[in-house]
Amino acid sequence: MTALGDGVDALARESGFSGVVSVDRGGMPVLAKAYGLADRRHHVANTLGTRFGIASGTKGLTALTVVGLIEDGALSLSTTARSVLGRDLPLIDERVTVEHLLGHRSGIGDYFDEDAGQEITDYQLTVPVHELSTTEAYLAVLDGYPAKFPPGERFSYCNSGYVVLALIAERVAGRPFHELVRDRVCTPADMRGTEFLRSDELPPGTATGYLPIEGVSRTNVFHLPVRGSGDGGIYSSADDISALWRALFAGKIVSRDWVAEMTRPHSDVPSEGRRYGLGFWLHATRDTVMLTGYDAGVSFRSVHDPRAGLTHTVLSNTSYGAWKITRYLDRKLVPEPE
């Protein structure tokens, strides 16, 4: 894999990459490299163990938390959001189910609509970010968005849908969503360093997110909720992401039958050149499964081939840092069929 590492090094130099690149097979490292700074102010370097925000990569953990509750009988795929939300978020169609939300087929309006064309440097939240420290607090930003289409009609990526899933999970379990993710996903997967951290009190060993604003490099602390929820905001490391894939396909988080259901195609998404399951992106033609996250000061992608046990992961504390390298790894490790 010397050639692969040389290629990653060249791209990292060319792009000024800041983050971690990891390739492993069955948990055994093939390539592992760290670049750039976790904290630019204090010149703290990224290391292989640095934790990064993974933005929408969180959705896979949310989906697993919800499916775990389904296995316990607390929910079902046909449970309606309205049956749990009561009078909250009245613009959500009464027919919207947990399955619609998991598969991005609910049609509900999105508080963080990625199709709206905003720049990553825009300040998009309508409430002060420090107020969004609990899942219930997100009700203030979720309300007031009319439906885009009837539930089940088509796929439309929806951040709001995954916060609603977090609300549903929290209410039926009677426990904070952050605790549910820790106990139902991180603990059985042995993801010891993965957790929802507050952006205004990041501990040592955690990368601060950066983005260019008005010609200077600034942190993302004013762009994102101070603490994430179902749609994004958890922090993780390359080793923990690799552990997640191994535990997932070993049936340690939810049963293998449910893993198969979550990672089979539920929607074709031609605009992305991919398919979608329940909480996971899928390759257009192969069995590889993906988690992707993109936000202000965050870019992340992890691709896992369950047959080969091969995982490649790129985490970056900049908005665009991961993409050149992850595309390169795709070409080298997940070739298109001839």
The answer as to whether 286 is a domain residue is yes
Per-residue pLDDT of the chain (338 residues; tens, 9 = 90+): 689 999 999 999 999 999 999 999 998 999 999 999 999 999 999 999 999 999 999 999 999 999 999 999 999 999 999 999 999 999 999 999 999 999 999 999 999 887 767 788 888 899 999 999 999 999 999 999 999 999 999 999 999 999 999 999 999 999 999 999 999 999 999 999 999 999 999 999 999 999 998 889 999 999 999 999 999 999 999 999 999 999 999 999 999 999 999 999 999 999 999 999 999 999 999 999 999 999 999 999 999 999 999 999 999 999 999 999 999 999 999 876 55
DSSP class of residue 224?
S
Contact between residue 161 and residue 106 where contact means Cβ atoms under 8 Å apart: yes
* Total domains present in the chain: 1
Helices (H), the chain: 2-15, 58-71, 81-85, 98-102, 139-142, 159-173, 177-181, 238-249, 256-262, 321-333
Which residue has 């948990």 as its token pair?
A: 27
Q: Which two tokens stand for residue 261?
A: 């259901």
Length of the chain: 338
Q: Model's pTM, two decimal places?
A: 0.97
CA–CA distances in Å: residue 27 to residues 23, 102, 211, 300, 301:
9, 28, 32, 19, 17
CA–CA distances in Å: residue 52 to residues 251, 263, 289:
26, 25, 20
The answer as to whether 297 is a domain residue is yes
Q: Could you list the beta-strand ranges (E) of the chain.
A: 19-25, 28-35, 37-39, 44-45, 52-53, 195-196, 210-213, 216-219, 234-236, 267-269, 274-276, 281-283, 289-295, 298-305, 310-316
Contact between residue 175 and residue 73 where contact means Cβ atoms under 8 Å apart: no
Structural domain for 184, as ranges: 2-333
The answer as to whether 338 is a domain residue is no
What CATH number is associated with residue 67?
3.40.710.10
